[in-house]
Structure 1
């Protein structure tokens, strides 16, 4: 088990945020987990450590939504998602760890840019909401592009939510169907990731023991998220999170570039 106290300074809030995300705060909270841990350990090791924890959460999510998801969406996105997972494995197995730090930091910046653009679009669209009352069906090409990006970012940083949402949100699914489709899609990707992560040597005794210690925190945080989602000032919390992710992203890119130079 990892015993460095500095690791747990980053890992405890990272896993707690992942749990809060599963509990109802949305993907932005969970996204911070791998970049935070990548400040103190290898980004590949950070992603490998988070995977068993996510698999535990997936068991609960699949049990809850196994009969309430859009099968067509999952089938449409899954082949591209698997291809993206393969590309992510190639990245992690071929390029140096410092390059992976740059990739994770860049993904974090892209995620923040998407948040800003989405918020900007939402504000502009609000006055004419009736113009968005009907679902827009994305094209086949769109499914391949966003599915591949979802698989790639999911493998590298467990951050497949933004590309997935870019494809699915225009479909205007019922909230339960949206949550169920997300749960099933990413549960399958996470299960598939076990083999390439094992091939990368990320499931050693130290990693699995550390994941076992942190897993209860993730479960508790999930239930806490369910309880407090309706009472906490989510807007203020998101502001803090966004600035934190920005700082982490810049630090990862800086460290990666310094390591390569």
Structure 2
């Protein structure tokens, strides 16, 4: 299952996830799970990625410690819990092809959403979204983070209206997904998504996760966010379309 081809693909993908979570608000980190789902079953891809994302979360906490907006994080975390429960319930009855469609669909939707914002086709509401709206978006975030590790976009829709600085935004996303990834661990384990093979893959890929986080923290101030996400959009479009095709055929 986890052969040389897997590690040649997984290593750069996990490094990329570390950069995203370490420096760019976690929005592109789920690209790693999408890429891995091209070469292994979606459940295995999610099971491999969760411990690595948790490792990245812990590594990124220190440089952003207490720089977050605790009230905004609390709203999204509380809202995210029911979404995680819904995702776990769906996993019990869904086929791998449905999860390929979900992961691929979220990947393509993420690209369309980001490009639409950049081109001005869509505009986020200028005024501050309410806590009630944050709870609703948290529910969407909880579901998407469970089924594809893709909670970043719903979180961003809420946080970008809250008047946060770039570093506050980054720190808040680190805190949110650190908590939610811990919450996801138990249902993932109960659903059999962790195995001895995924554990060995985690050990082999951990250095890529740590190195990516280190690079992301430093790139937070040095690298153009537009350049980083431009590459992300290309990768997600290709992988998303391929996963949708595989799920349908």
Q: TM-score, normalised to structure 1's length?
A: 0.86
Please give the secondary structure, in 2, of the residue aligned with 1:171. Answer: coil
Instruction: Tell me: CA distance 1:95–1:170, structure 2 relative to 1, closer, same or farther (3 Å).
Output: same
Alignment of 1:8-157 (within 5 A): 8-121=7-120, 136-157=127-148
Q: Distance in 1 between matches of 2:17 and 2:208?
A: 10
Aligned partner (choices 207, 217, 222) of residue 198 of structure 2 = 207
Q: Tell me what 1:241 maps to.
A: 232
Instruction: Tell me: CA distance 1:243–1:216, structure 2 relative to 1, closer, same or farther (3 Å).
Output: same
Deviation, 1:233, is 6.4
Question: Is 2:223 the partner of 1:224?
Answer: no
Please give the secondary structure, in 2, of the residue aligned with 1:170. Answer: coil
Q: Tell me what 1:159 maps to.
A: 150
Max Rg structure: 1
RMSD: 2.4
Unaligned runs of 5+ in 1: 126-131
Q: Tell me what 1:195 maps to.
A: 186
Q: TM-score, normalised to structure 2's length?
A: 0.90
- Check the 8 A contact 1:91/1:100 in 2, yes or no: no
Q: Distance in 2 between matches of 1:146 and 1:104?
A: 18
Please give the secondary structure, in 1, of the residue aligned with 2:120. Answer: helix
Instruction: Tell me: CA distance 1:78–1:40, structure 2 relative to 1, closer, same or farther (3 Å).
Output: same
User: For this pair of structures, how many residues does the alignment match?
Assistant: 249
Deviation, 1:56, is 1.1
Unaligned runs of 5+ in 2: none
Q: Distance in 2 between matches of 1:234 and 1:189?
A: 25
- 1:178-222 Cα deviation digits (max 9, x unpaired): 222211111110000010000111121111111111011111122
- 1:108-138 Cα deviation digits (max 9, x unpaired): 111011111211239989xxxxxx6xxx321
